[in-house]
Structure 1
Amino acid sequence: MRLQAVLALIGCAIAGRAFGDEIDYLSQVKPLLASKCYSCHGALKQQAELRLETRALMLAGGDSGQVVVPGSADKSRIVARISAKEDERMPPQDEGSLLTADEIALIRMWIDQGAKAPDEPAPADPRQHWSFQKPVRPEVPGVKNAAWSHNPIDAFLAAGHERHGLVPLEVAEKHVLLRRLYLDLIGLPPMREELHEFLADDAEDAYEKVVTRLLKHPGYGERWGRHWMDVWRYSDWYGLGAQVRYSQKHIWRWRDWIIESLNEDKPYDRMVVEMLAGDEIAPSDPDTVRATGFLARNYFLFNRTTWLDSTVEHTSKALLGLTLNCARCHDHKYDPLSQTDYYQMRAIFEPHQVRVDPVPGETDLDRNGLSRAFDNEPDAPTYLFVRGNEKSPDKSQIIAPGIPSVLAASDFNPQPITLPAEAYAPGLQPFALADHLAAAAKRIEAARTSVNAAKQQMQATERVAAGKSEKPRTAPVGEFVLRDDFDKPNPDVWEAGPGEWKYTDGKLVQGRAGAGLTSLYYRTRSEHPNDFLATCKLTVTSAAGLGSAGFRFDATSSRDKFVYLSVSGSKVQIAHGMSPNYTYPRDAKNDQPFKKDVAYELTIRVQNKLVNVAIDGKHAIAYELSVEREAGRLDLVAYDASVEFDSVEIRKLPPDAVLVLAKPPPSIDVARAALIAAEKSLPAAELHAPALQSAFAADLAKANESVDTAALVRDAALAARRYEFAQAEQAVAKAEYEVAAAGSDKRAAAEKSLASARAARDQAAAKLEEPGDTYTSLYVSKRAANGMIDEATPRHGPYSKVSTGRRTALARWIASRDNPLAARVAVNHIWLRHFGQPLVASMMDFGLRTKQPPQHELLDWLAVEFMENGWSMKHLHRLIVTSRAYQLRSSLLAADESTRQADPDNDYYWCRKPLRMESQVVRDSLLHLAGVLDAKLGGPTVPPASEDTVFRRSLYFTHSRDDRAKLISMFDDADIVQCYRRTESIVPQQALALANSKLALTMSRKIAAQLEMKLGEASNEQFIAAAFETVLLVPPIAEESAVCLAAIKQTVATLEKLEHASPQPRARENLVHVLLNHNDFVTIR
């Protein structure tokens, strides 16, 4: 005790010197209590009925009586508790950091000095925080200058101007407004012709007509789709190789849903419901179900808790503006959100999982599918994790689903939803059976092809054994599949891929030249036959890099086989893989020279895996593919080359066609074993379809609770046993072939495999006698793995027949008119992206740390207006962009100095803030002004490596942690972890990117060429004026025109000295490139 007293006296002495003679409560004590004590003894929570926010509350004490005795620290319980040993000490362990010796000494001295503090009112009940109150439409204020206001937005802002003596700027010039409007609404700048049309329109509604037209423009959905993709954390899948670790494959379908929903002005409340519960409200509608990509995007392979934490956190932040994640380990330190609130929200999502369902026309889920959410375990319990540690669940009680109590409403009432059969058993969708039967038919065709190939091989072997030389016959003429002489476009047959494809003088021309262009292709819309002959006449007109042209077959989104002739490489080659990572087998090429501007006839014959290539009718290559064949389409390809295709023909290859073999014929025994194996593959292929059909009929009867289920089940079981026996016989035949073909070192292993195959066949034969009642259903869907161990387990369903309805209840509560947060949060996001600064500064936190904003009445008016007009975002956009406030100038040169000093942060919107284009808008604007932007909406993601050659809008490129386009990333692209508001940086690399990137240079040349074509024989002065209007949407002033004219003349003179072929066009291209690097190009004024 003596030692403690001595230490306390020493502490007081130190404190006296450190803190001075008089302790100031407001600056020294209150901040300390706020950081250490208020979370448990404040307005949010009053443990032991004790509050410490004011002196009066401290003197009132709690359940244990008075805690502060003015003038006596030794008699004050608060000092005893903050100085106690571990079990009694406050704050408790893990509830916050303990007070230091100096901090304890400070509180002791303050109490000993009489615990002096000013009289303060008790803090308000946090549940009465402004954002937790339902928005009510305030009365539009009257203002002195009523003529200034275009609509109620202006009235609210004008009232603030008058109240604070602020003088707003004038309305911006027409060309500035037009560019601002285009870039804000569709993310593309207006063209020069659109500028002139707008400037010439003197009608009072000229501006409103542009607004109407742009809100109907398809680019609106793409522009605002990218904004909401930021907020909703869009990310394509990424992982290791084919292993999905984050997000889901085919998540682009959710992106397309966002774009389409915005373009059709789907109500925001409906969008919220579809994203959270599309699988519950419309389980049979894939167009709605794809919206649940919002949830699928949160998938994380390695930890289910991390996955659900992200779901709870970002659902709360994005849709409610609440940092509910801060209550995962303990009650929220600032907001009236308890730890139980957090786990009640988690319980809403606890049953849900994600899976990939099939889409019509595709049976390979890796190639195409529908990523979606569903309730996989309706009865999965939720436990509160002690201190947020998933290894310490409190299993004494199961947490029921619910919403934060501070926002609790009676309409949160989850009701289980009985799902239709096709929702819990996707294999029962009619197209699923049709697609798998089509695949089975192709398998039969492939088996027949294998039989024919094996017969030909046998015949060739017999001829060699008889001493006859093998002479391949010319392949007989087969049935035409396609013939095109390219006299005119044929869009029903062909689909243009990357490149500059056009029809000229009876030729199909790919006009883009240069190295590093990767593969540019023109693709058939239909798949080609498995065995086929294809011929094309082509001319390479320019070559750089690889300088190649030819065919790709079996072409899919991920793989193909490539046959080409190379001018630069002096060879004809067969390759396989995916551009640009092809495999080039050494025995699949023929070295020979090829020249530019010379026409060649390239012919390929494909029979199963055997490929023959001929140039101008002369055999060049015979090669046996080392990879499996796939159903795919045929491409005409140019690789680092401009090419003219004169004609193309595709024919079926007749079964009796004899091709040049890639290898010497095998022995008679091996050839005979190969033929038997091929023949056994045919019944296995033929019996697959009946097994599929019988299983589908039985499953459908079960789903419909048909009385004939037993008979259908028996039929399905018998069909399954027959198919299994045929597969077993095929396996035996294949094993016998392996024995025949094996060398002495591998024969023992091959014979062991053969014995196993024969035993399996005997078992399959026995089951034919008693087929039982088991069969394999048509499994077409795949659930995401719950961790790496789960990856090895079957995850194909069928799934739960009931969905909990929890997510529907949550979604309807969020989208309710009674929810105080949802409309405010949405309005704030939309306002931010129009004005560059939000009404509420913290985009994702509307809690107690966020004070009522200066424009709270405007926020509430807009929130109510939004809801009362059907949650229409287009209505809100129109209201905002037609306001005078939106149309104000952004230049501060004309600003009133007193206004700038009174409101330096523009809280009252007396001017328009200049904004830097987002990354996607920079790239899209380059393409748009050059006239090459591909306006196609939606579709699979585009590889970032193609950003210089594929001219789709930037939001269609892969966007993930590991893979994104370089130019787009340079200008502050969206962070996939969290991006409620884009950052805006200015770094030298951005200037270098626009100055040196291949895309910027290429687009500069195209813009200049377009201008020269439109202007005709124009003077340099006319070209300069047109270039300024095209790139910056404003004519040059006299000084600018003079400087540019001098630059063009100087550049021309320099290039002429260097004997450049086109000095004048190149000088003009340089001018355009300079303007694209002007600050006003990347700035939205």
Structure 2
Amino acid sequence: MRTFSYQVNWWAMTSRHFDGLFGVVLLALLALPTDLAAASDFENDVLPVFVERCIVCHGASSPQKGLDLRTVSSIRKGSESGAVIEVSRPEESLLLTKIATGSMPPGEMKLEPQEIESIRQWIANIETSTTDGVAHSKRQITERDVLPIIQAGCLACHGKRKQEAELDLRTRASMLAGGKSGPAIVLGRPAESLLIERLEAREMPPLKKMHEASVKSPTVAEVAVLKQWIKAGAPPMPIKTTTTDFPISQQERNHWSFLPPQRPTVPEVRDQHLVRNEIDAFLLGKLEKKGLTYSPSADKLKLLRRLYLDVTGTPPTPQEIEAFLRDESSDAYDREVDRLLASPAYGERWARHWLDLAGYSDSRGIGFEDKIRPHAWRFRDYVIRSLNEDKPYQQFLTEQLAGDEQTDYTKEPVTQQLIDRLAATGFLRTTPDSTYEPEFAYIPERMTVIANTVQVVSSAVMGLTMGCARCHDHKYDPISQSDYYRFAAIFQTAYDPYDWRVPKERLLDIALDEEKAAAATHNSPIEKEISLLEESIKQIEKPYRDRLLMQRIESLPMPERVKLKELVNASEDERTLEQKELAHKYQDEFDITRVALTQAFDELRDAVRPLIEELNNKIASRKAKPAIRALVDMGGMPSAHYLLNRGEPLAPLEQVEPGVPALFAGVLDSYRVQKPWAGASTSGRRLALAHWLTQPNHPLTWRVIINQIWTRRFGLGLVMNPSNFGKLTPAPPHIQLLDWLAVELVENGGQLKHIHRLMLTSTAYRQSSARRSRLMLLDPENVLFGRMLLRRMDAEQLYDSLLKVTERLNPEAFGLPEHVGLNESNEVVAQGTDNSFRRSIYVLQRRTSRVTLMDAYDLPHMTPNCLERRESTVSTQALHMMNGEPVWNHAKHLAGRIIDRVGPASNVTHQIRAAFLSVLSRHPTDTEVERSAKTIAELRRHWPARLAGDGSFAPREWAARWLSLAGFVHTLLNSAEFVYID
């Protein structure tokens, strides 16, 4: 009842303050621990203030800077910078200082004087008897309790890669072994242990390196835990007496997707003349059992348009249409399929589907800035090239999971093939990543990157929801929490949360010589100009920087004010330990950013604005140094990996070894790690995973990719839920067809184009989308595939098709993405040239600045990836097509091209026929020509009046003819016939 009554009282007390933060604060509060009643002053006087002003940032599951203000105990634990309150000494408490000086909370949420006084009195009167935080614990403290403290504060310098003074603090054994100065701990004698001595002297972790290394100094309570552990003899990790795996029944193992696919017998059907390949036999077999059959074939041009849009992502050109109509041979369509599968556009279109599964983005996906990942595009290019080469699927997967572990890339000559193989591992680096910035690179954020990577791999390749087992055993599938952490451990030799490489350290300085030379030549003069501009700005800023620092110091309490003034006048080498600690405590005050300066001094802002604009333009014009954004094995002995209690990053339970879900034991060859080659420094863990996943009889790998291809060909999957092949998804009605195709893919060497060809040349694919009454009655959802579905173009098809049919598509392939920006209508658009733009796959894929038109048409958000496109129908889609500036410009461009080609502007009939063929991929009927001519004539009568007085359109009569045709083209582009694939 205590928890409930507290929540009700809190509701009554704070409801007047909720405003726009209502939902966020309520959700944060419902997770509050129930230890609040123990500190009445805190509960009644301090907590309400924190709830109203602070808990949004410092009360979530991952509080900013590691500071949780929801309970007394969490406040005592401090933040990433160390302790925030000094018991009974409010004037020395960082928390009070930040609040009193107005540094926190940010913005307009400053505390009132009486609220600050309440916090001051609370700190002054906190009881000291329990400040060590461990006096109440009767449970024996073991290595499991101290590991999180060491991991969070020490392993950046005393871990796997870096062992300063030859000291490794990762395990009890390594602490006892010690380093150059001797053992780090002396059993039973904490006072004689170097570890405790250095921590209590605040020598370790070094104040200067804490922020850069994303480590936190152990709090007083945590040091007390370490002392108690050492005093007790440093008890090791508790011995595991029970298994954390659960028994898996034979019924669970017999779930359809957990058994290897077998090639079934192709059924005999009555309508043999409709069977072009085995796909038709399986589908017709199901239809005939219902007394049904296929729908008639689609119209020849509708089928051609469907084929082009599905394979290349854009409609055919008028020339391609006429060539197809002239070819009356019986295999004309099949040869068109082969030609399109061999075209570069096939890889550009189908790469988009794989990039969905991978969660590809050119930006980090964190914060409002959502900064660009400079070299992410190499992974995109790798996927396009691989698909166009028809790289075997098993090789395609292996390179993405472990391209760095296949051969010793450090000793190979640099070729495009080597670059592609290393760039392929970008598959494991697509997810949002906050660890670019030190303040967001602590162990919890690192664990989030790993968790997202596990989710991408397990969902995209295996169709499993393994993420559900991160905090507890999976509620539906036979996947234990141990399975999850064993699987995550596979990636730990590259993604080590206790020996983290920030993203910039993961770049490989590998590039072709011509790339390096081109970048250096381009950047050399720009770098000189940047240096001059930076120096000029610094000279202007210096007096203002000194003034602002003094203003900040003057706002601090008197005892600290004097000390800080002395500190300012002392060089870093001359500072005492107390001054160093003071500098760290007030690092936010000393950290004066350019933004803070220009906000504080208007005259400075005006003085440096033109210089900063010039500087930003120069920086933007630089070419990034050629490099590969990859994930590679770090070599050496990997850190231990643990099962985490409820998924909490700093709550290790028992140690686990790398492995795969136990449910496949006995079905597949075991996961076996071995060195890829003699003397290899790489672990081979991810290469072993690739080999395990690509076994010919793997129950999931081959079925999942077949289902993905089928879904995009037919609009519905053979398995309706492509993201979950687990127990919640029953055996699909076409499981025999799914398994036949899976085995066919394996036995044809993993060649995906072979599967595409089977689907595209089947009678099933060639069907009309027309609705037949009996078929709709017996199979309204089209589960039996008795007709093709009318489908709307996806966002990229629409964007690319608009460019192609209006003759503005730039065919340039590969390389840096085309940037985006705002046009005069505040639409996000690609920054192409006046007359051409690259395909959508080459446009910057930024999570926060998405091309407006594609965003309206359900461009997916990568959170962390996308396994199935969702389609919505909202008014903004039609509004962007009808009123958006880009579509109108496309229409004007095509109208001008048609006038140039057709000839005299009076030849309206020819213009109409050309517009229909370009936009809708067909010839108009006579009725359509007649009606269209009347529409254009009506538009032409209105345009001269609209153009009157506009000198930019001259001669006016010619402009009226051009814009009238553009209006007609614009109407065709807005038609359902253009936007939908029939």
- For normalisation by structure 1, the TM-score amounts to 0.52
1:390 Cα deviation after fit: 2.0
What are the superposed Cα offsets for residues 125-157 of structure 1, whole Å, 9 maximum, x if unpaired?
110001111101111100011001111000000
Partner of 2:943: 1055
CA–CA distance in structure 1, aligned partners of residues 434 and 460 of structure 2 = 19
What is the distance in 2 between the residues matched to 1:142 and 1:418? 50
Q: Which residue of 2 aligns with 1:275?
A: 400
When the two structures are aligned, how many residues end up with a matched partner?
A: 578
SS in 2 for 1:942: coil
The structure 2 residue matched to 1:848, chosen from 727, 730, 738, is 727
Amino acid at match of 1:250: H
Q: Deviations over 1:191-235 (max 9, x none)?
A: 112112111211001001111111111111100011111111101
**Which residue of 973, 976, 979 maps to 1:1076?**
973
Identical columns (%)? 38
Does the aligned pair in 1 maintain the 2:364–2:434 contact within 8 Å?
A: no
For each residue in 1:139-196, what CA deviation from the matched residue of structure 2 results, as whole angstroms up to 9, or x when unmatched? Answer: 1100011001111000000001101122321000000010001011011110112112
Give 1:217's match in structure 2, choosing from 321, 343, 356: 343
Q: Which residue of 2 aligns with 1:888?
A: 767
Provide the rounded CA distance (Å) in 2 between the counterparts of 1:242 and 1:919. Answer: 24
Matched, 1:991 2:839: no
Separation (CA, whole Å) in 2 of partners of 1:274 and 1:155:
35
Contact 2:347–2:388 (Cα < 8 Å) also in 1: yes
1:283/1:932 Cα in 2 relative to 1: closer, same or farther (>3 Å)? farther
**Equivalent position amino acid for 1:1045 in 2:** A
> Which residue of structure 1 aligns with residue 464 of structure 2?
322
Cα pair 1:149 1:155 within 8 Å, conserved: yes
Residue 1003 to residue 392, structure 1, CA distance change in 2 (3 Å): same
8 A contact 1:131–1:846 mirrored in 2: yes
Match of 2:855 among 960, 969, 977: 969
Match 1:934 to one of 810, 834, 840: 810
1:1038/1:308 CA distance change after superposition, 3 Å: same
Residue 294 (structure 1) aligned with residue 427 (structure 2): yes
Aligned to 1:174: 300
Match of 1:416 in 2: 675
Unaligned 5+ residue runs, structure 1? 1-121, 421-800
Deviation of 1:283 after TM superposition, in Å, equals: 4.1
Q: 1-side partners of 2:295 and 2:844: how far apart?
A: 42
RMSD: 2.2
The residue number in structure 1 matching 2:632 is 374
Residues 313 and 349, structure 2, Cα contact 8 Å, conserved in 1 = yes
* Alpha carbons 1:283, 1:419 under 8 Å: kept: no
On the 8 A contact 2:407/2:676 being kept in 1, the answer is: no
Question: Match for 2:507: what amino acid?
Answer: V
> What are the equivalent positions in structure 2 for 1:938-957 lying under 5 Å apart?
938-945=814-821, 947=830, 949-950=832-833, 951-957=837-843
TM-score normalised by structure 2 residue count:
0.57
- For residues 11-67 of structure 1, give each alpha carbon's deviation from its aligned partner in whole angstroms, at most 9, with x where no partner exists: xxxxxxxxxxxxxxxxxxxxxxxxxxxxxxxxxxxxxxxxxxxxxxxxxxxxxxxxx
Q: Give CA deviations for 1:754-799 in whole Å, capped at 9, x if unaligned.
A: xxxxxxxxxxxxxxxxxxxxxxxxxxxxxxxxxxxxxxxxxxxxxx
> Aligned partners of 1:356 and 1:960: how far apart in 2?
20
In 1: Cα distance, 2:455 partner to 2:957 partner: 61
* Residue aligning to 1:531: none
Is it true that 1:830 corresponds to 2:709 in the alignment? yes
CA shift for structure 1 position 928: 1.2
Partner Cα separation in structure 1 for residue 301 and residue 818 of structure 2: 34
Equivalent AA in structure 2 for residue 322 of structure 1:
L
Q: Deviations over 1:677-716 (max 9, x none)?
A: xxxxxxxxxxxxxxxxxxxxxxxxxxxxxxxxxxxxxxxx
| Partners of 1:248 and 1:296 within 8 A in 2 | no
Q: Following the alignment from structure 1 to structure 2, what is the Cα–Cα distance between the partners of residues 997 and 339?
A: 50
CA distance in 2, matches of 1:163, 1:242: 56
Alignment of 1:138-537 (within 5 A): 138-238=264-364, 248-284=373-409, 285-298=418-431, 299-301=433-435, 302=440, 303-353=445-495, 355-358=506-509, 359=511, 360=513, 361=516, 366-376=624-634, 378-394=637-653, 397-408=654-665, 409-417=668-676
Higher helix share: 2
Q: What is the aligned partner in structure 2 of residue 1043 from structure 1?
A: 931
Q: Which residue of the partner structure matches residue 42 of structure 1? A: none
1:1064/1:963 CA distance change after superposition, 3 Å: closer
Are 1:806 and 2:685 matched, yes or no?
yes
Deviation at 1:1026, TM superposition (A): 2.1
Counterpart CA distance in 1 for 2:756 and 2:320 is 21
- In structure 2, the CA distance between the partners of 1:899 and 1:383, relative to structure 1 (3 Å rule), is same
What secondary structure does 1:861 align onto? Answer: helix
- 2:697 aligned with 1:818, yes or no? yes
Q: Distance in 1 between matches of 2:873 and 2:669?
A: 49
Deviation track 1:853-885 (CA, whole Å, cap 9, x = no partner) reads 011100000101111111111111111000000
> Measured at CA, do residues 292 and 242 of structure 1 come closer, stay the same or move farther in structure 2, by a change above 3 Å?
farther
Deviation by residue 1:438-471 (Cα, 9 ceiling, x = unmatched): xxxxxxxxxxxxxxxxxxxxxxxxxxxxxxxxxx
Of 292-301 and 881-890, deviating more is 292-301
* Residue 62 of structure 2: aligned partner: none
Distance, in Å, in 2 between the alignment partners of 1:961 and 1:386 is 32
Query: Partners in 1 of 2:448 and 2:364 — Cα distance?
Result: 16
Cα distance per residue 1:221-268 (max 9 Å; x no partner)? 1000111111111011236899988x9431110000000000111111
Task: Find the partner of 1:1020 among 893, 905, 908.
Answer: 908
Distance 1:878 1:240 in 2: 40
Q: Is the 8 A contact 2:818 2:832 kept in 1?
A: no
Aligned to 2:12: none
Q: Aligned-pair distance for 1:296?
A: 1.7
Secondary structure at 2:763 match in 1: coil
Separation in structure 1 between the aligned mates of residue 365 and residue 704 of structure 2, nearest angstrom: 33
Amino acid at match of 2:273: A
How far did residue 411 of structure 1 move?
A: 4.2
The 8 Å contact of residues 827 and 863 in structure 1, kept in 2 or not, is answered as yes
Change beyond 3 A, Cα 1:221–1:283: farther
SS of match in other structure, 1:236: coil
Structure-to-structure mapping, 1:27-42, within 5 angstroms? none
Task: Name the CA distance, whole Å, in 1 between partners of 2:886 and 2:299.
Answer: 31
Alpha-carbon displacement from aligned partner over 1:468-499 (angstroms, at most 9, x marks no partner): xxxxxxxxxxxxxxxxxxxxxxxxxxxxxxxx
**Does the alignment pair 1:959 with 2:845?**
yes
Q: Distance in 1 between matches of 2:909 and 2:721?
A: 49
Q: Residue 1041 of structure 1: CA displacement? A: 2.4
Q: Distance in 2 between matches of 1:156 and 1:1014?
A: 49
Aligned AA for 1:356? L
Separation in 1, partners of 2:811, 2:728 = 44
Q: Distance in 2 between matches of 1:842 and 1:282?
A: 37
Return closer, same or farther for 1:283/1:964 CA change in 2, 3 Å cut-off: farther
Q: How far apart, in 2, do the equivalents of 1:123 and 1:374 lie?
A: 38
Contact 1:134 1:819 in 2 (8 A): yes
For the 8 Å contact 1:954–1:968, the answer to whether it is kept is no
Give the number of the structure whose alpha-carbon radius of gyration is greater. 1
Alpha carbons of structure 1 residues 124 and 400: separation in structure 2 relative to 1, 3 Å: closer
Q: What are the within-5 Å matches in structure 2 for residues 743-822 of structure 1?
A: 802-822=681-701
Q: Over residues 621-660 of structure 1, what are the superposed CA-to-partner deviations in whole Å (9 max), with x where a residue is unaligned?
A: xxxxxxxxxxxxxxxxxxxxxxxxxxxxxxxxxxxxxxxx
1:90-140, Cα deviation, whole Å (9 max, x unpaired) = xxxxxxxxxxxxxxxxxxxxxxxxxxxxxxxx9971100011111011111
Q: CA deviation at 1:840?
A: 0.4
Aligned equivalent of 1:906, options 754, 758, 782: 782
Letter in 2 for 1:1070: G
Residue 1010 in structure 1 maps to residue 905 in structure 2:
no
Contact 1:225–1:258, Cα closer than 8 Å, also in 2: yes
From the superposition, tell whether residues 944 and 842 of structure 1 become closer, same or farther in structure 2 (CA, over 3 Å): same
For the 8 Å contact 2:811–2:838, the answer to whether it is kept is: yes
